[in-house]
């Protein structure tokens, strides 16, 4: 069993203003952790190694949730390739090394399902890592995340560093990025369909053929899994975090159209890339550790849409 992370522990959530980090922070705040460290980017630049070292020296966090990353969809990954590999490498190197040198009790590293080969067998098992070529559009990001996994493993073997690596599937939920240039498929579709409804547009354009299949996990479920595994898992093996089922992009679009209540037609722009044909995680190891996702896709999208509408109202009134 892991060292117990109780309410008196000093817990650092890196990236606490992002989709994942904010969900983890909400989860821990709900348990009333007395020493929850959630600095903003203005307060702590995670790409500044000296600043990170000074933060660890001063605050002495015991448990670190590394939810900090430069993330985006297909277009962002393919356009800002240098930014994605440089920023993600710098962030995780600074955090992992500082945690080791300042004697942190435990470190949780979040990777991504894109670390697996483009044509990996489905569903993807943790053992499929480094067994084939990566999806070209997000290769720099994936390589940065693989480097983080290897760094955790190397520090564990050389220094006895207690770090665990979790690989979430596609995420969505409150606080998502709805920028059509940089967002992932679900929030991008949610915004597109909402705006088409407001405009009375007869159709909504969806990139690609609609045939690729994706698995979607609500970010609050991920946060729950992270806290659960931080408390209960000390193994050196990767753990996939997902729901174990997937839908096609076309099916996803139809669910979103139903939730938003738009009567228009869905049009697939086949000149745009599809990306990986299928990304479904094998969650056998996760289930064997005692955790399962609880939020259904329809429930999660409905809740996310309500959050999006509330944010849009706030933005207009601000």
Categorize the per-residue pLDDT at 3 as very low, low, confident or very high, splitting at 50, 70 and 90.
low
Single out the catalytic residue among 141, 155, 172, 233.
141
pTM for this model (two decimals): 0.92
Does the annotation count 141 as an active-site position?
A: yes
Rounded distance between C-alpha atoms, residue 48 and residue 46, angstroms: 5
pLDDT for the residue numbered 274:
85
Instruction: Let me know: does 111 contact 145? Beta carbons within 8 Å.
Output: yes
In the sheet where 278-279 sits, what is the strand order? 247-248, 213-214, 278-279
Instruction: Let me know: does 37 contact 61? Beta carbons within 8 Å.
Output: yes
Residue whose pair of structure tokens reads 């004697």 in the numeric block: 103
Categorize the per-residue pLDDT at 311 as very low, low, confident or very high, splitting at 50, 70 and 90.
confident
pLDDT digits (tens, 9 = 90+) for 214-236: 999 999 999 999 999 999 999 99
Select the more confidently predicted residue: 171 or 78: 171
Categorize the per-residue pLDDT at 314 as very low, low, confident or very high, splitting at 50, 70 and 90.
very low
Categorize the per-residue pLDDT at 78 as very low, low, confident or very high, splitting at 50, 70 and 90.
confident
Categorize the per-residue pLDDT at 2 as very low, low, confident or very high, splitting at 50, 70 and 90.
very low
Categorize the per-residue pLDDT at 317 as very low, low, confident or very high, splitting at 50, 70 and 90.
very low
Q: Please report, for residues 30, 52, 221, 222, 236, the alpha-carbon distance to residue 2 in angstroms, rounded to integers and kept in the order given.
A: 21, 25, 21, 19, 12
pLDDT for the residue numbered 1:
37
Beta strands in the chain (DSSP E): 10-14, 35-37, 63-66, 106-110, 163-168, 170-172, 203-207, 213-214, 216-218, 239-241, 247-248, 265-269, 278-279
* CA 299 to the chain's CA centroid: 19
pLDDT digits (tens, 9 = 90+) for 37-60: 999 999 999 999 999 999 999 999
pLDDT for the residue numbered 297:
98
Rounded distance between C-alpha atoms, residue 210 and residue 252, angstroms: 9
Q: Is 149 a residue whose pLDDT tops 60?
A: yes
Categorize the per-residue pLDDT at 306 as very low, low, confident or very high, splitting at 50, 70 and 90.
very high
pLDDT digits (tens, 9 = 90+) for 166-204: 999 999 999 898 988 777 889 999 999 999 999 999 999
Instruction: Let me know: does 113 contact 170? Beta carbons within 8 Å.
Output: yes
Residues 6+ apart with CB under 8 A from 219: 19, 20, 23, 171, 172, 173, 174, 175, 176
């Amino acid at each position: 069993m892991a060292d117990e992370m109780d309410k008196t522990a000093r817990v650092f959530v890196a990236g606490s203003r992002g989709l994942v980090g904010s969900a983890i922070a909400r989860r821990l705040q709900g348990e009333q952790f007395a020493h929850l460290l959630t600095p903003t980017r203005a307060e702590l630049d995670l790409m500044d190694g000296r600043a990170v070292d000074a933060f660890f020296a001063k605050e002495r966090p015991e448990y670190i949730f590394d939810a900090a990353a430069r993330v985006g969809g297909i277009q962002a990954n393919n356009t800002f390739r240098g930014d994605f590999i440089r920023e993600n490498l710098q962030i995780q190197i600074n955090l992992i090394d500082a945690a080791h040198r300042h004697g942190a009790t435990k470190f949780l590293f979040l990777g991504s399902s894109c670390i697996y080969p483009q044509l990996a067998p489905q569903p993807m098992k943790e053992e499929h890592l480094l067994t084939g070529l990566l999806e070209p559009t997000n290769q720099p990001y994936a390589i940065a995340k693989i480097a983080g996994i290897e760094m955790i493993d190397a520090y564990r073997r050389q220094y006895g560093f207690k770090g665990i690596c979790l690989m979430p599937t596609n995420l969505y939920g409150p606080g998502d990025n709805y920028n059509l240039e940089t967002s992932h498929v679900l929030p991008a579709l949610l915004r597109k369909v909402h705006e088409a409804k407001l405009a009375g547009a007869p159709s909504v354009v969806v990139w690609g053929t609609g045939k690729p299949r994706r698995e979607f996990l609500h970010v609050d479920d991920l946060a729950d899994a992270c806290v659960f595994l931080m408390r209960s898992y000390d193994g050196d093996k990767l753990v996939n975090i997902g729901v174990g089922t997937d839908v096609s992009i076309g099916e996803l679009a139809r669910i979103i159209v139903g939730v938003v209540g738009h009567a228009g037609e869905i049009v697939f722009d086949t000149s745009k890339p599809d990306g990986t044909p299928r990304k479904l995680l094998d969650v056998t190891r996760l289930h064997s550790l005692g955790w399962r996702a609880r939020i259904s896709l329809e429930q999660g999208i409905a809740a996310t849409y309500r959050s999006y509408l509330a944010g849009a109202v706030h933005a207009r009134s601000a």
